[in-house]
Amino acid sequence: MASLSDIIETFIKQMIADTNGSIEIQRNELANQFNCVPSQINYVISTRFTTDRGYYVESRRGGGGHVRIKRINITRPGNYLMHIVSSMGTSISQQSAEVFIKNFIDYDVISEREGYIMKAAVSDKIIGSVPMPDRDILRAMLLKNMIMSLLV
């Protein structure tokens, strides 16, 4: 059985799909609809609609506060990949790198085979002998370099 967070995520994704890729919601209204507290909505948005998953979230607090969630336009893979490179930072965990790679596969930016190769290259099995935090810095450099090679 799906958790409430999964149900809310699916609902929001469907709303985004039914529009031009951007929605504006009010936390309180959505919380009332799902009979939960607004912090549950915040949790779903902050954990499942992140930049590394291909979303841009803008929030305004207050009485008329809202949350705007926009799907990053990936019709031009180059734009999407450049957005990822610029948002990645100088360090990345193996788990976060794998999320990026999974999204590249899901959005048909790379093939599944290319994804396996990228995951292998940034895996702790390969770079595990490098001490932390240098390992995550090296992983970010490797992933960025592979992404940049896709833009050529």
Q: Name residues whose C-beta falls within 8 Å of residue 106's C-beta, 6 or more positions apart in sequence.
A: none
d(CA 75, CA 22): 15
Share of residues in the chain with pLDDT > 70 (%): 92
Mean pLDDT of 29-52: 89
**Spatial distance between the Cα atoms of 117 and 137, rounded to a whole number of angstroms:** 19
pLDDT of 107 strictly over 90: no
pLDDT in tens, 109-135: 889 999 999 999 999 999 999 999 999
On the question of pLDDT at 145 being above 80, the answer is yes
Distance (Å) of CA 39 to CA 13, 19, 42, 76: 18, 25, 5, 34
What is the pLDDT, as a whole number, of residue 129?
93
Q: Which domains does the chain have, with CATH numbers?
A: 4-71 (3.30.56.130), 77-150 (1.10.1200.150)
Q: pLDDT for 55-94, tens place per residue?
A: 888 887 766 568 889 887 666 677 777 777 877 888 999 9
d(CA 135, CA 128) in angstroms, rounded, equals: 7
Q: Which residues pair with 148 in a beta bridge?
A: none
